[in-house]
Structure 1
Amino acid sequence: MYRSLREFVDAGLLNCFQLDGRTVYELDYGYPPHDHLYCTRCRKLIEFRSEELIATRDEAAAKHGFRVSGHRMLVSGVCRECGKNRRKKRKQDLV
């Protein structure tokens, strides 16, 4: 199975990256460009697309005479659900 995944990556059908010691695979071919938010507590990976981010990337590339072929951005933090759970625990600790 892993050999097949590697072949799909080599063919440009899948994209792979390392995250906390694990390999993450996602569709690449025909899938719109996007970036990720990563919750360091529950390990949830959330996809997002930002036109402002793409515009900033393209502006920086143009300023430096750079031709963009793609980019990857991973923002680490705590998701809404894990943040709510933490706040609930804090309130209970105060009682």
Structure 2
Amino acid sequence: MPFLLGGSIWRDHHRNQQVLSSTAAGDLLDLRPVSQPRGFKPVVLVLKTSTGLVSLTDPLSLASGVALVREERQSGRSFICDEQRTQCAEIAQPSGS
């Protein structure tokens, strides 16, 4: 049983690291923490780029003007990263899912 659990965890981690596609997400304009009074999955940050707004579930520490990319991973999850991919944060799923 522990072997099966370990294999499942490794597979999920591996799929989350595999990038299926990467597209430009604009330059970072603003990064603000938000507080949501209701709900079980609070959004940590709202990221404003030259192409729009993105809600993140993970913290990022980047300077304004940094070029960003959006990555779609094999796991089905989406991430915002700096171009060098030194920092990545998961994009929050819509509250209806």
Q: TM-score, normalised by structure 1?
A: 0.21
1 or 2, which has the higher helix percentage?
A: 1
Of structures 1 and 2, the larger Rg is shown by 1
Q: TM-score, normalised by structure 2?
A: 0.21
Higher RCO by CA contacts (8 Å cutoff, separation 6 or greater) = 2
